[in-house]
Structure 1
Amino acid sequence: MTGGWSDAAGWQARLNEVQLRHAGLQLRNQGAIPLVLGPAPATSPAAAPRPWRWQVGKAVLDVLLDGQSLLQIQHQGSEGQAGQWQSKGRIDPLVVTPQRITDLQAWLGRGGAQAGGVHTALSEQARRSQLRLRLDWALAFAKTLSGDVRLERLDGDLTVPGDVPIQLHLQQASLALAIRPAAALTSRAALDLQVVTKDMGRLRVRAETPIHASEQGGLSVHPQDVKQVHVEAQSEDLSWVNLFLGGAAEIGGTVHADIQGRSRADGTWSFTGPLRGEDLRILMVDQGVRLLDGTLQARFDGMRVVLERLHFPAVRRVTPKEWRTATWVTENPDAQNGGLDLSGQWDVLTQQGDVTIGFRRYPILQRADRYAMISGDLRVQASLPRIGLSGKIVADAGWFDLEMLSNIPALDGDVVVLKPGEKTPAPAATPLDVRADLSVDLGPRFYLTGFGLDSGLTGALDLSLRAGKLTALGALHTRGGAIDAYGQHLQLRRGTVTFQGDIANPVLDIQALRTDVAVQAGVQVVGTARHPRIDLVSRPEVSETEKLTWLLLGHGPDEAGGDMSLLFSVGSSFLSGGEPFYKRFGLDELSMRSGELGSTGSILPVESVVSGLDTGASPIEQRFVMASKTLSERLKVSLEQALAQTGTVARLSYRLMRGLQAEMTVGTVSGLALVYRWLSVD
């Protein structure tokens, strides 16, 4: 610094170098800065004390962050004396980039996490985007504050980073602050923000407030002062809202708002004005929920947001694959022209409100593997953190494919998901106290398919949620239908699931029978879901071994250990995911049996002459594997191979009439036979 003192001008100097550093932030000058401190020039020839004044001349100041240029201040001049001051200057250009915002947040201690994710071309575009602004100020104070501050866009654009970066496509952006004297020690500040984009629409916010000055030169805004705000918004594309949803949903559509607000003496606000929306959409793709073509009518009333009507017409996007559901929703006139309507109110100040939701023939769920059209009414009452849900829902049509459950990915219980930059999981937010009392009626057209099951489902449940625990009262019943298990087609004769509290542990009463054989055999499941009991049943009642053979093989047990063949068949079914593996090779039956190789089941022996001195083989040594193939309705061919001995028999069977068939065997045992079988049922 160089300079000196004179009686006429006071102290005058030139500040040659300025270097300020703090925590990575640096301020430095370009060229010398004129400084003046001394008595103000005389305003009259009379000898009177002159007040002291100060002046800072033109200066160019660079602001750096971590050695990188942040902005440049072009100071045009500032001066002041007792009770008054004025300043003028600009920042041109003020460059805003996502990286600079991140760096500044890190310096302020509000960020600093390194963003992860995949660096796609679009995210690279976000990192390269920049917005060039210009800031001008001209302010003065002489018992009241006055002047102007203006921030406006020069050129460029900004892409907001995120999972799906959004380019703003700015066409105009400006922020003007005009301050004018209004009364003694009082000024009135008027702010005007205008933003115009190519696709998202336009926004204008105007606000006014008094600014008070004290005798000592201080400035303040009093809470009891009347402040005003006027918001005019025309958003042609609500996709920018998705930035705040974290990927949980996708919002779209057009919204127009004209809201005016005025503060009260107690510091609260009152708002009025309409809010209108068109072509609204809410998408939750993973859940199959797509609310389309919505219209919104709402208004502000004091501190309440009044939802007069939010309507989504029923739009059928997907035709269910299940033929009964598809027929009803496409051909029945009563299934057309449905809709979803919401109305209610929310008090922003008290965080209380209620919403009524009405469904009429509305396809709330539309996916290739599930479908639901519902009617009914729900009411949501909230007084945060408590939320209450009540009402009744009836399924007009529904279908659920159980096989989709096997395709739902899930993380192991020991997996912890961290957001980019996190080292430990974020603390859980304050939990909401959600309470629900819902009645759900499945109606007459709800179906379950998949995993061999094809059945209707009827019944109703009363659901209750308290303290995070869901309970249910009611019963669900199967309506006809069948289930394929172990390669067999079983008819559902009875199916009831009764809920008496814990929704995860209902009481089961299910019976499925194979009905294409003389003895109808099947399984019965009773008990609770956690402790079920599975029994074999038959009509008429037969032994357990016979139940198994009739269920799995379609005929009664042979005379020499049919239980082994049953175990073989069941095992093969498990190994092939529910379908016997031998069917993949074109066979109709593959089983293990015990008895005489080549036997027809007659009481007469297979051989009537002595062929050796052996007194007979044990049951284990008499086991053999039998494979068969039905060539036509009457003709069947089979092959029997001994396991413990060297014997092979090929058999050709031809059904002459009901119960009577001719058989020819060749190999270890050769011969011809006429076999007549019958079953006596008391």
Structure 2
Amino acid sequence: MMNQTHNNQNPQTSHKQYNRLIKLLLVLLVSVSMAGYWLFNSPSGLQWTFSTINRLSSDAIQLTGIHGTLRNMQIDHIHFANDDLQLSMQNVRVSWNPNALFQKQIQVNQVSIETMHIQVLPATTEPSPAVLPENLTIPFALSIQALTVGAIHRISATNENSDLIISDLALSLDSNGHYHRLHNLNFHTPWGIFSALAKLNGKSPFDLSAQIDLSNADPWGDTQTTITGNLAQMDIQIHATQPAVKRDLKLQLQPFSTDPVTQFHAVLEKLNPATLLSDAPHASLSVFANLTQNESGQLTGRILVENHAATTMNDGGLPFSAISTQALITSEVFKLQDIRARIATDEIISGNLIWHWKEKSASADLLVSKLNPRHIDSRIRAARVSGQIQLEGNTQTQSARVHLKDNSVSLSAAVMRSGERITLEKFNLQHSKSQLTGQGKLDLGNEQSFELSGNLASFNIADFIQAPDSNLNAMIDLSGKLSPQISGILSYTIQKSRLAKFPVTGTGQIAFNGLDQFKGKAELTAGSNHFIAQGNIGESGNAFQLTVNAPSLAQIGFGLAGDLQAHFTLNGDLKSPNFDLQLKSRHLSLPGNQRLSGLVANGRLSNDTMSLKIAIENYAVHDKATLQYLNITADGKISDHTLLAKTRINNEVSVQLKATGGVSEKTPLQSLRWNGQLTELSSVGKIPVHLVAPTTFSISPELISLDQAKLSISEGFMHIDQLQWTPKTWKTRGHLSGIALSPGEHQESKQPLLHLGGHWDFASNAELTGNLQIHREKGDWYLPGEIPQPLGLEIIQLKVAAQHGKITGGFELSSKNIGTANAHLTLPIKQSNNSWSIANEAPLNGEVMAHITRLKWMDATLGDSMNVNGQLQVQATIKGTLNQPDLAGSVSGKELSVLLLEHGINLQQGNLTAHFHQSDLKIDQLVFVTPHEASPDDRLFKDLKLDGASGSLTITGNIGFADNESNLYFKINQLPLTHKTDYWIITSGSGQVRFHKNNLHVNGDLSTDAGLLRQPPEDHPELSEDIVFVNSSSSHTPKNMSLLLDVNLNLGEKFYLRASGLEGRLIGQLQVQNDQRNTLKVNGSIAAQDTTYKAYGQDLTVKHGIVSFQGPLDDPGLNILAVREGLLVEAGVEIMGSVRHPQVKLVSTPDVPDTEKLSWIVLGRKPDAGGLDTSVLLSAAGSILGGQSGGGITEQITRTLGVDEISFKQAGVGSSLSGQIGVVGKRISSRAYLSYERSLATTTMGITKLTYNLTPKITVVTQAGEDSAIDLFYTIQFD
């Protein structure tokens, strides 16, 4: 019974225990859920979590300003510190998904950090060698969708100042535990913008692939890095993406081995050291390296550095042309063996260098062979120096020994450093009798004491540099200390010396403490120039005097010339000094080809009252006047004075400035400061400037600031809202409006000028930020001309922005008469010496787009005789660097037209396709169409058949703008050249125009399809030949340019001439050439076919007419025969010889006398037996035969009869003779002239005249015969 009872209770007990366990589990589950919810979703859970982390880390992690929940938190400041690293982060925000933990994932949505400061502390123990890990997998999946850091600052281990090294970092990655992927990593640095992506296998051998891009990098340019392989061995390739520059690096690394670099190959071109360091010399270096690890684990190979812009150091360059060496690198030693350096083509330096890594010691042994010092510095005299340079040392001691010499020059020097002492053991420079010796030492201890002594013995400066001959004997001693400030004593003695031809003497001893306390006396006499300074300058009191009496500075040389007299005295203390200054010079020349004239300066300061006047009549640089005058005055007290300055710049702009203010006293917390008001600032010139109202400004070594200022500028204003400068920062902000721009100095137009407005806002600190905008407000721009042509501007805007270490500029233009243009350009900037600059190697990235809808606006600049029109489309990209920009793009045009009125050229319907790179324009095709005009004479061209209604001109080739290399090909197909009064020609052909080294070559073959030359009207008005336009702009062919022609001209079968009574067809072919002396030569001939000549109302048939060219253009050979046909006697004219020496004679068939020949030509019959035809025939004879050179009939008769004149002319008004008259004259003396005149058409007796010149203005004329008279003439000339 009891057992049964017991058995009955067990099930109940078990049931109760099970229920209790279930309840306990439920309570535990609920508690855990509630705890988890509290932990992830409540601020108290977040606080508890981080307080626990803080305790467990032993305060290594400190968090302040915790907000939010563990799921979405914000922490104002996180600080982490251990023995090796200190890290602080501000304004950290984290958002993640805890629910993903149930799927073994850590899913981070966003992490943002405003700023991060990192300080790596010096290592206290030697770091252990890196070991390749066994496994890089993680037991969970990880996803970070976005991690951003605004700025990362690095703090050096010994300095609390921080440097910004990374900004705008953005990162995203994920991993499934085995494969890790970096999707995106971007950040900005002072060296450029980095972007990267990578993949890594977490299992051995840890396969790796990555790509890193660097853009806007200065000075290297954009680069792309590719990494392949695995962690045990990886290949790295770095490629610069700059056009026309090859910069490639290839490395093979084994990061966890003793010698990690197994291969190193480099090709780096166009490297300029000055872009890396502002004080470095300029060069264009190419570096070639090919290093490979050998079987012993040594990285060895050849390194070559070539300098493509070698120049002397005084010109800011590097003198060597090439350096080569055999490198050997291991974990223990770095060797450069077989070093060879060349200057020009000569090998100058050879030797070896070795560095021991562990011992930190180095040595070098260099041999110098026949070095010309002038290649190092062009001011040094030429020589051929050889010798040895030895360098050696470690962390404790270093030494350098130099021994160089040639036949006449030697240099020996030895410098040793041991511990904290540097000793110049010896220095000896000698040339013949010239000698400079010296020695010294420097203690690097607390006070840094130093001693230096030197001696000059019979020293001739001209033996070493380009200077006047000299013989200097001097002793110099300098001793003192560098800390806490430089102080010491300088003493010198110069005696029995000579500079050029003038004696030099001097003594001096000066004690100094810092740069503002001096005491002693210094004196120097060089020729007739005397300089003396004596007294003391210090805080306790001043008594100093400087006197300069230099009537002939040219005796000193070194670029000095002219005269200078100066006297300066200073007394009192530095807080309230008194001084007096007097300085004058009639002419003063300074080094750098600078010249002053009329320099006068007078200044005085006494009891806080000052007066200063400075005047310069002229200042010029390189013989070009820069300032026409400069006047500066200052009057008043130190604390309250007025400054006035007036000058004229480049003979164009006059500037006047006036300011009032004073100098505040120096305090322990503040240096000297000038505070005042700018009351006047004006500029008169092309753009007038005027200060509207006074403004205050302050100047000190630590701060320059200007309050708000308003300037009136060319009908508008510019308002400076802020201007502030410190040695490390500056700011400026302002706006402008209504500033008018005129296209000329005195352009007068009723239309409104172009007015600009805009604003700017820039700030410079660690980064340059800001923007500038200038835009059109109203008005237009006008092209110059008799009637100024407006461009029809609607939009013109310039935008410049600076941010993230780069400057971005944009330009926009919209014009009714031109079209539209847009351009933008981005380039990096760098900071050097607290100023911003654009490096020459800075990469450019820009684009230009222009759509020119009309070219008609160009007519105003091309002149009245040429008209153009059409549309152009231009697209270009700007790459390369600032000093070598790379400009490339394309040009297309349509509806182009060119009209040359004077030459009868009318090109229409033009289409252009071209592209360009740099200054080379490649014309793929330029085609023009010109419609044919109706022929001027249908009778001549009734059988003419052309291919179409228009002709064409096609041009291809390239035009080089910068290097003058051009090559164009042209093809003409039935192109019409039409002038209403002169010619009508249709021509075809092809040719080439080449421009090379100032030589213009023109080759071609041209033929005429049809043509007509006509004589222009004789009654059109034209200016006399003696009228000269003195102000006309004439185009001059460059003196150094030559024209080389080789053109074949074929007149074809339908080329006609109609001029001066001549009408017919011309055929023939000419070759036009010239030589390098620009002498034009023509070979070939032109023949007349079916030609008639109309003279005296008669038609002469040209039997043959040939003009032959065999050399000079102006003297072709002539073979012409023109005959009047159809008569009993066919008479005519035959012309032989050349143009310069024609031989004209009358011919006839059958042969008859010349008088009868003339009659048959002119009258068509025999001459009248009574002499009635005489006047007509004599006139014809003079017309036909009188123009021969040296052989005319009239000239022959004149010589035969011994008279001075035989001529035929029309009788004058009022004369008793009428019609044509003949005149025979003879000069009896220098004053008397006897002549006989007789009418040719009548039988009158004629008139005999005697003309006698009493004076140059009074003439007596007596005549007898048909009409007897005596006349007195008084001559008045009008010039």
**Same fold, TM-score > 0.5, yes or no:** yes
Q: What 5-or-longer segments of structure 2 have no aligned partner?
A: 1-659, 1185-1208, 1211-1218, 1222-1238, 1246-1279
Whichever residue aligns with residue 1025 of structure 2, its letter is: D
Distance 1:6 1:498, change over 3 A: closer
TM-score for the superposition, normalised by structure 1: 0.71
Question: Helix, strand or coil for the counterpart of 1:323?
Answer: coil
- Is 1:33 aligned to residue 698 of structure 2? no
Q: Aligned partners of 1:572 and 1:547: how far apart in 2?
A: 14
| Structure 2 partner of 1:93 | 738
Distance 1:437 1:197, change over 3 A: same
Whichever residue aligns with residue 556 of structure 1, its letter is: K
Equivalent pairs: percent with the same residue?
A: 23
Say which is worse superposed, 156-165 or 560-569, in terms of deviation: 560-569
> How far apart are 1:414 and its partner, in Å?
7.9
Say which is worse superposed, 442-451 or 156-165, in terms of deviation: 156-165
Distance 1:82 1:561, change over 3 A: closer
| Structure 1 partner of 2:1047 | 438
- Which of the residues 930, 936, 949 maps onto 1:314? 930
- Which of the residues 867, 871, 874 maps onto 1:254? 871
- Which of the residues 435, 439, 453 maps onto 2:1062? 453
Q: In 1, are the aligned partners of 2:683 and 2:690 still within 8 Å (CA)? A: no
Q: In 2, are the aligned partners of 1:546 and 1:556 still within 8 Å (CA)? A: yes
Cα offsets for 1:588-630 (capped at 9, x unmatched):
xx999xxxxxxxxxxxxxxxxxxxxxxxxxxxxxx995xxxxx
Q: In 1, are the aligned partners of 2:914 and 2:924 still within 8 Å (CA)? A: yes
Q: In 2, are the aligned partners of 1:14 and 1:32 still within 8 Å (CA)? A: no
Question: Helix, strand or coil for the counterpart of 1:550?
Answer: helix
- Which of the residues 806, 822, 826 maps onto 1:204? 822
| Structure 2 partner of 1:233 | 850
Distance 1:57 1:532, change over 3 A: same
| Structure 1 partner of 2:952 | 339
Distance 1:31 1:394, change over 3 A: closer
Question: Helix, strand or coil for the counterpart of 1:570?
Answer: helix
Distance 1:624 1:451, change over 3 A: closer
Q: Aligned partners of 1:286 and 1:409: how far apart in 2?
A: 15
Q: Aligned partners of 2:1220 and 2:737: how far apart in 1?
A: 89
Whichever residue aligns with residue 1043 of structure 2, its letter is: V
Distance 1:520 1:426, change over 3 A: closer
Report 1:196-595 matches (<5 A): 196-214=814-832, 216-247=833-864, 249-264=866-881, 267-316=883-932, 318-324=933-939, 326-328=941-943, 332-334=945-947, 336-403=949-1016, 409=1022, 412=1025, 415=1028, 417-419=1030-1032, 429-466=1038-1075, 467-561=1077-1171, 564=1174, 566-567=1176-1177, 570=1180
Q: Aligned partners of 1:465 and 1:240: how far apart in 2?
A: 38
Q: Aligned partners of 1:138 and 1:163: how far apart in 2?
A: 42
Q: In 2, are the aligned partners of 1:18 and 1:27 still within 8 Å (CA)? A: no
Cα offsets for 1:461-500 (capped at 9, x unmatched):
1110222221111110000121111222111111111111
Distance 1:452 1:236, change over 3 A: same
Q: In 1, are the aligned partners of 2:1131 and 2:1161 still within 8 Å (CA)? A: yes
Cα offsets for 1:316-353 (capped at 9, x unmatched):
2x323233455355xx2436443110000123342202
Q: In 2, are the aligned partners of 1:514 and 1:551 still within 8 Å (CA)? A: yes
Whichever residue aligns with residue 878 of structure 2, its letter is: G
| Structure 1 partner of 2:66 | none
Report 1:105-124 matches (<5 A): none
Say which is worse superposed, 20-29 or 283-292, in terms of deviation: 20-29
Distance 1:133 1:430, change over 3 A: same
Q: Aligned partners of 1:408 and 1:431: how far apart in 2?
A: 38
Whichever residue aligns with residue 284 of structure 1, its letter is: L
TM-score for the superposition, normalised by structure 2: 0.39
- Is 1:79 aligned to residue 724 of structure 2? yes
- Is 1:158 aligned to residue 158 of structure 2? no
> How far apart are 1:568 and its partner, in Å?
5.7
> How far apart are 1:371 and its partner, in Å?
1.1
Aligned length: 534
> How far apart are 1:516 and its partner, in Å?
3.6
Q: What 5-or-longer segments of structure 1 have no aligned partner?
A: 39-50, 64-68, 104-122, 182-186, 575-579, 582-589, 593-622, 626-640, 645-682
Q: In 2, are the aligned partners of 1:505 and 1:530 still within 8 Å (CA)? A: yes
Cα offsets for 1:76-135 (capped at 9, x unmatched):
12234341111100122212234xx516xxxxxxxxxxxxxxxxxxx85x3643122112
> How far apart are 1:566 and its partner, in Å?
4.3
Whichever residue aligns with residue 462 of structure 1, its letter is: Q
> How far apart are 1:548 and its partner, in Å?
1.5
Report 1:596-611 matches (<5 A): none
Distance 1:172 1:326, change over 3 A: farther
Question: Helix, strand or coil for the counterpart of 1:18?
Answer: strand
Q: Aligned partners of 1:417 and 1:34: how far apart in 2?
A: 53
Whichever residue aligns with residue 245 of structure 1, its letter is: L
Q: In 2, are the aligned partners of 1:328 and 1:335 still within 8 Å (CA)? A: no
Cα offsets for 1:413-440 (capped at 9, x unmatched):
78363248xxxx8987444211010110
Q: Aligned partners of 1:196 and 1:8: how far apart in 2?
A: 59
Q: Aligned partners of 1:262 and 1:319: how far apart in 2?
A: 52
Distance 1:71 1:12, change over 3 A: farther
Distance 1:565 1:248, change over 3 A: closer
Whichever residue aligns with residue 806 of structure 2, its letter is: R
Distance 1:463 1:155, change over 3 A: same
Q: In 2, are the aligned partners of 1:277 and 1:295 still within 8 Å (CA)? A: yes
Specify the structure having the higher radius of gyration (Cα): 2
Q: Aligned partners of 2:1244 and 2:688: how far apart in 1?
A: 91
Q: Which structure ranks higher in relative contact order (CA pairs < 8 Å, sequence separation ≥ 6)?
A: 1
Q: Aligned partners of 1:559 and 1:13: how far apart in 2?
A: 116
Q: Aligned partners of 1:591 and 1:96: how far apart in 2?
A: 70
Distance 1:365 1:565, change over 3 A: closer
- Which of the residues 42, 55, 59 maps onto 2:709? 59
| Structure 2 partner of 1:18 | 679
Say which is worse superposed, 443-452 or 286-295, in terms of deviation: 286-295
Question: Helix, strand or coil for the counterpart of 2:877?
Answer: strand
| Structure 2 partner of 1:587 | none
Whichever residue aligns with residue 86 of structure 1, its letter is: K
Distance 1:446 1:139, change over 3 A: same
Cα offsets for 1:492-528 (capped at 9, x unmatched):
1111111111111111111111114221111111111
Whichever residue aligns with residue 208 of structure 1, its letter is: T
Say which is worse superposed, 435-444 or 334-343, in terms of deviation: 334-343
> How far apart are 1:246 and its partner, in Å?
4.7
Distance 1:387 1:312, change over 3 A: same
Q: Aligned partners of 1:426 and 1:551: how far apart in 2?
A: 49
Q: Aligned partners of 1:27 and 1:547: how far apart in 2?
A: 86
Question: Helix, strand or coil for the counterpart of 1:546?
Answer: helix
Q: In 1, are the aligned partners of 2:922 and 2:957 still within 8 Å (CA)? A: yes
Distance 1:31 1:478, change over 3 A: closer
